Amino acid sequence: MATFVLVPGACHGGWCFEQLTEQLREHGHRVVTVTLTGLSERSHQLTSTVNLDTHIQDLTALLSAEQVRNAVLVGHSYGGMVITGAADRAPERVDSLVFVDAFVPRDGESCWTLTNDVQREWYLSVGEDGYSVPALPSFDARATAHPLASFLQRIRLSGDLGRFRRRDYVYATVWDGESPFAPTYERLRKDPQWTVHAVDSRHNVMRDAPEELLKILLNAA
């Protein structure tokens, strides 16, 4: 039995993994889902001080409180930033990582530096408060605004991901225009330390390619 810890992308809550959670549990695995500070049912906590460090602390605190060991950390989209930071801060609790059409930052990088101009334009479409980025119309109706600072803050890492047993990258090939994750995909697919999967799916892989994603996760475990 593995322990999967599922971290959603921007504007989403742990509910985006509902189907995947049920499937993994049916296979006998433990599953812990995360809703980050300021998002979804925690949207009342969104302030100008919520940033990437806040979300990394959310995850590391959860791993400790739930007494998680040998976790398979799964991050979708922005969640890749969070699982990278948490794995760096609490490596003793992590076995492997799966990035689902997600950012895979190196030290000093941010969502802003890793993405494309289309996404940067979205980041800067903040509301009147100056710090909350509105959910895109294509998102689930439950999606809420996301803290701008978490997109802009550069991650600080003390090690690299090579210390973990396995690292998987799931790349969604169906985008309207250029995928903001294409450079990450091109970098990792040439790295023999990574297992890279190109999936015929839109960005919400959990919804659009659930069975293929389930197989990838089960293999990663």
Task: Tell me the helices (H) and strands (E) count for the chain, helix number first.
Answer: 9, 8
Concatenated DSSP letters for 112-179? Answer: HHHS-HHHHHHHT---TTSSEEPPPTTS-TT---EEHHHHHSPP--SS-GGGSSEEEEEEE---SS--
Query: Please, are residues 10 and 82 in contact by the beta-carbon 8 Å criterion?
Result: no
Structure-block tokens of residue 80: 């890749």
Determine whether 77 is an active site residue.
yes
To which residue do tokens 């969070």 refer?
82
Given the residues 40, 77, 150, 201, select the one marked as catalytic: 77
Distance, in Å, from the CA atom of 9 to the CA atom of 157, rounded to the nearest integer, reads 20
To which residue do tokens 């293999």 refer?
219
Distance, in Å, from the CA atom of 185 to the CA atom of 102, rounded to the nearest integer, reads 9
Q: Would you name the residues annotated as active-site residues?
A: 77
